[in-house]
Structure 1
Amino acid sequence: MSEDMNQVEVKNYEIGDHVKGQVTKVEEKQVVVNIPFSKVDGIIPISELSSLHIEKASDAVTEGDELDLEVLKVEEDALILSKRKVDALKAWEDLEQRFKNNEVFDAEVKDVVKGGLVVDLGVRGFVPASLVEAHFVEDFSDYKGQKLSFKIVEFEKEKNRLILSHRAVVEQEKGNKKKGLLESLSVGQLLEGTVQRITDFGAFVDIGGIDGLVHISQLSHEHVEKPADVVEEGQKVQVKVLKVDRDNERISLSIKDTTPGPWVNLSEKAPKSSVLTGVVKRLVPYGAFVEVLPGVEGLVHISQIAHKHIGTPHEVLKEGQEVKVKVLEVNEAEQRISLSIKELLEKDTEENFDYVLPEESKGFQLGEVIGDMLKNLGK
């Protein structure tokens, strides 16, 4: 009776059948498996173990593993089986869903080949070098064995073509981070950043995944000719958010507003009645603006330029000229400082200010005296 039962249980498998088998022996170039209801063992050639090239069978399976297999050939003493084909069939179904859903998934880099990386997903996935990172990578050897996040960018089952991208994941994460940062920013917020790029019109500062522009006028309280004169690439800086344009992803920043202004504590740096040396910056009909400290210009009213009457400041002053001035009044709140040149002329008129002609003690103008002398010489 037992012989009849064994005959009933024995199944004649055909090419294409899917079977389950348990690994009983792992040889170098093939694997032996036990197939239920089969009178012969199953053999899996090394080429049918994995979608990737492997050097020995033990790289893919170990003794005792339960495997899903497909019958490739029926021989008298063995069934020739494939693990690779069953794995691929399952993998393509799964990968198609991932592709349709634009899914991000993790996988290990199995090999580094010319032109990119190879990933085993049940089928061979290829990552071209240009799709590995958002930045240039010269040597990919360190990537072997690493687990990275991927998206499928090309899916062609008929051509057995599966192209993956890690760069797409990196850029997506960067975009999400950028969007989140844009939403969190508020005008007036103080942040730390790193100078990324310097241009003629300012500096771009990375504030945590997104760049903001510090216009040249916002780099310093002092006049800046070239941004490179005051900041350098890689420099850590404190910045203040001036404006956030979320639609165009533009951020305006200021370094100047995070530093004490030149007018802070000016009453201590330039107290009333103190004498300072300054440079004439601008001449206007009603006086002259003199820079007495970096970023601080005070007004010398036309009435405070000379003892004698002058029609315009241009008669006795010129831009760029160095002069000594006396502080008459300081108003930090309104950022105004009143200066006088005239009040210093009483002490040292001719030595320091050759542009002012003193009056004669008898009430005569020097010009009149010289004129009379010339008349006498002509006689």
Structure 2
Amino acid sequence: MQAQEHGDLSTRLAANHKSGRVQTMFEENDQERQNSNPEEMGEFNEMAALLAQSSSPISIKRGDVVEGVIVRIDQDEILVDIGLKSEGVLSTKELPANGYGSFNELHINDKVLVYVIQPETQDGHALLSLKRANAERQWRIAEEQYKNGELLKARVIDYNKGGLIVDVSGIRGFVPISQILNLKREEVASGGESQETAAKLQSMKDKELQLKIIEINRARNRLILSERLAVQEWRQRRREELLDELKPGEVRHGVVSNLANFGAFVDLGGADGLVHISQLAWSRVNHPSEVLHVGQQVEVQVLSVDKEKKKIALSIKRAEVDPWTTVEQRYTPGQVVTGVITKIAPFGAFARIEDGIEGLIHLSELTPGMDPRQTLHEGVP
């Protein structure tokens, strides 16, 4: 029997006339491909899979959160392609005034997460919500931050005896009291039961903290964070950066973090440097507490950086003007000044007339017969 031509598709009656089935060119070609090479067979199978996929509609239900692509933006509604026969509809009335998801932040071809309110309306469109999907979007971001070990910032919105409650881009997170940075060991042990600890927790409300996610469970809406780990990791990263950045001779701003008999430690914003006691001031210093206190802001000059030992040597006095360079502008021979005795020696006494400027009162300049060790006292004018 002759073939009947219909455009590009030729059909012929099947060999089994009783079945009444029509055999297409695709079936003929399938039989021919059985004798073809494997590469041609692979291409045919791939095309068949794509045809099957395109003919199978995606199944969605209320409450699903799916990813779609914006295909049209109107003043009242936005059409989103989520893989259905018709686009889903997103009302612009629910969009936030600014920030992510606001009208001005959305553009055609943007990928967005949407929440399915109704799989199909009378018009054949799915009814979608961007606002409800935003929470799911934030959870996905949080999961990525957890996997990558990222640091984040969050605002404290409340507290209880167990710790702090924070807002992580719309998700309620919890910072256990053991993971809060500026609490003493006994305060952590009390678990927020004492009034003093409770007052500290309350004072942190509305503050922004640097945090790291240490546990996440989407099914239970559980997000646990640590301030201690976040600050430790940040300081470690910043320390490495500073060791590369700092150059001898630079003047940097810092905060005194600790005092010791041999000097003071200054936090440069992630790494501590040591100011030896000899570099604290131009005048003699017996103990760092005489000129500094913890928390004091200071200007320091970088003396040296040892990357291998990870040590930074600093100087406070070199960040200031050496008073001896201008001493002749302030004092002249014969001028009478007031000073403070700083040291008594067999040959006389030393007196400080200003910070960094000390002079010797020789024994010959004292009243005849005066014993400086009996009549003069250190620290007294």
TM-score band by shorter chain is 0.3 to 0.5
Structure with greater helix percent: 2
Q: What TM-score, normalized by structure 2, do the two folds share?
A: 0.43
Q: What TM-score, normalized by structure 1, do the two folds share?
A: 0.43
